[in-house]
Amino acid sequence: MSISTIVAALALETDNDPIMGRALQLARTHNARLLFVHVIEEPHLRESRLPGPVDVTSIRAMQKQDAVERIKRLTGSSQPSIVADIVVDAGKPFQIIDEVAERNGADLIVIGPGNAKSLREKVFGSTADRVVRSSTRPVLVVKSAAFDPYQRIVGATDFSAASTAAIQAAILLAPSALVEFVHVIEIPLGFELAMLKAGTSQAEIDRYRRAKASDARKQMRVAFAEIDSSNTRPRLTIIQGSATHVLVRLARSGRTDLIAAGTHGRGAISQALLGSVASRLLQMAKCDVLVGSG
């Protein structure tokens, strides 16, 4: 497995786009084909109060031409040694991005976190949320403006195919990075209190915790054996607590360049609802987040 084709989605809201910088760095590192995608959202072109006569086709064509020229200018000044293909289209961003990735057999989608600007986006999620939910390939959500190769990766594993896929993709992106496998054991406080009320001693509860940790460590070794990581010897870390709180803390610590996590499966419900841990990471992480679907 290799990174041979990268699709990077550009919002073109500023001339200093961290998505462009990270995509160029990855394309250069992996000698990968790079496609920049920009989607023109045009609800305003469907308004009934537009001054007439308005040639919607001409306006759309001019918008596309302007976007292409701007991307060419920005990529030329950023990294003249890399030639990128450019796709500019009109429609729903998450659908266009996913279609371009699918059509070109992309190994990775690079996108920014985005902000929910409308009521619809607040209900259904930003473009990044919807791309993560709909895509069958790894999605790198760029949160940082640093473009050096990743040096430290945290792979959050719950032993699912999705988390394994995310960690595999992260190691593939940065094979020389230090990798820490993290599994969080969640034992609800209410459950421990119920055990105490049922007559379970604190010593027995502690043994239960240690047994859970021991089982998790064995599962981590099995999970890591499934990952192609010939150049990587990860540190295995087991933490007890809330998975969301632990991983968000790691993603905001300043010691992690990239955190990899999985979504929940691929069913209809999981496509409608992004896993709670992945969702919080996308919202609150300071470092980049790579999400895999398995």
pLDDT of residue 283: 85
How high is the pLDDT of residue 141?
A: 94
**Contact of 153 with 178, CB cutoff 8 Å:** yes
- Structure confidence at residue 158 (pLDDT): 86
Give the pLDDT of residue 270: 39
Q: What's the pLDDT at 8?
A: 94
Return the SS3 of 17. Answer: coil
| 3-state SS, one letter per residue, for 46-90 | HCCCCCCCCCHHHHHHHHHHHHHHHHHHHHHHHCCCCCCEEEEEE
Strand partners, 40: 90
pLDDT score, position 135: 85
- The pTM of the whole model exceeds 0.85: no
Query: What is the pLDDT, as a whole number, of residue 277?
Result: 77
The predicted structure's pLDDT at residue 160: 84
Amino acid at 105: G
Q: Cα(283)–Cα(43) distance, rounded to whole angstroms?
A: 26
* pLDDT of the residue at 56: 66
Given this model, what pLDDT does residue 42 score? 64
Domains of the chain plus CATH, in order, are 1-143 (3.40.50.620), 149-294 (3.40.50.620)
Question: How far, CA to CA in Å, does 280 sit from each of 135, 199, 235, 241, 275?
Answer: 19, 37, 24, 16, 9
> How would you write the pLDDT of the chain (294 residues) with one tens digit per residue?
689 999 999 988 777 788 988 999 999 999 999 999 999 876 555 555 555 655 667 777 888 888 888 888 877 755 556 678 999 998 888 899 999 999 999 999 999 986 655 434 443 457 888 888 888 899 999 998 888 899 999 998 888 888 888 898 999 999 889 989 898 888 777 777 888 888 888 888 888 888 888 888 888 888 777 776 666 677 888 888 888 889 899 999 888 999 999 875 443 333 333 566 777 888 888 999 999 876
Per DSSP, the three-state class of 40 is strand
